[in-house]
């Protein structure tokens, strides 16, 4: 289930060579199931940190095998909308987002 219009990319060291722009990203496991919907003000910094630290020891995110990303001006707002849409479609949150409380307005 692809959530963004961006092409599916394999998670490798090259993931950190993305533009330092604000954006939203979706991490997928081997089965191409979304496991995390994230947002950042600097994709290059966030992805660089993930690659260099292997997701900072986060076992859930370490299951990442591919990803999608999109550059947006309001990443937090877009992330919350994407999570809400996913929850409405599936009845669940992505497994690594389960600790995040989704605010609805």
Answer yes or no: is 67 within a domain: yes
Answer yes or no: is 100 within a domain: no
Domain carrying residue 20: 9-93
Q: What is the mean pLDDT of the chain?
A: 92
> Tokens at residue 52, please?
């260099």
**9: which DSSP letter?**
E
Judge contact between 37 and 87, C-beta under 8 A: no
Amino acid 33: pLDDT: 96
pTM of the predicted protein model: 0.91
Cβ neighbours around 103 below 10 Å, total: 9
List the CATH number of the domain containing 70: 3.40.1440.10
Q: What is the pLDDT of residues 14-57, one digit of tens each?
A: 999 999 999 999 999 999 999 999 999 999 999 999 999 999 88
Domain count, the chain: 1
Would you place residue 105 in the very low, low, confident or very high pLDDT band (cuts 50, 70, 90)?
very low
**3-state DSSP call for residue 76?**
helix
pLDDT at 70 over 50: yes
CA–CA distance, 61 with 63 (Å, rounded to integer): 5
> Tokens at residue 4, please?
């963004």
Answer yes or no: is 4 within a domain: no
Cβ neighbours around 93 below 10 Å, total: 19
């Amino acid at each position: 289930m692809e959530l963004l219009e961006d092409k599916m990319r394999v998670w490798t060291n090259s993931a950190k060579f993305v533009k330092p722009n604000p954006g939203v990203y979706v991490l997928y496991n081997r089965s191409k199931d979304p496991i995390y919907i994230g947002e950042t003000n600097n994709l290059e910094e966030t992805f660089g940190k993930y690659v260099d630290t292997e997701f900072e020891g986060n076992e859930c995110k370490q299951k990442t095998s591919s990803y999608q990303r999109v550059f947006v001006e309001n990443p937090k707002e877009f992330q919350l909308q994407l999570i809400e849409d996913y929850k409405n479609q599936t009845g669940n949150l992505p497994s690594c987002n389960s600790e995040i409380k989704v605010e609805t307005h």
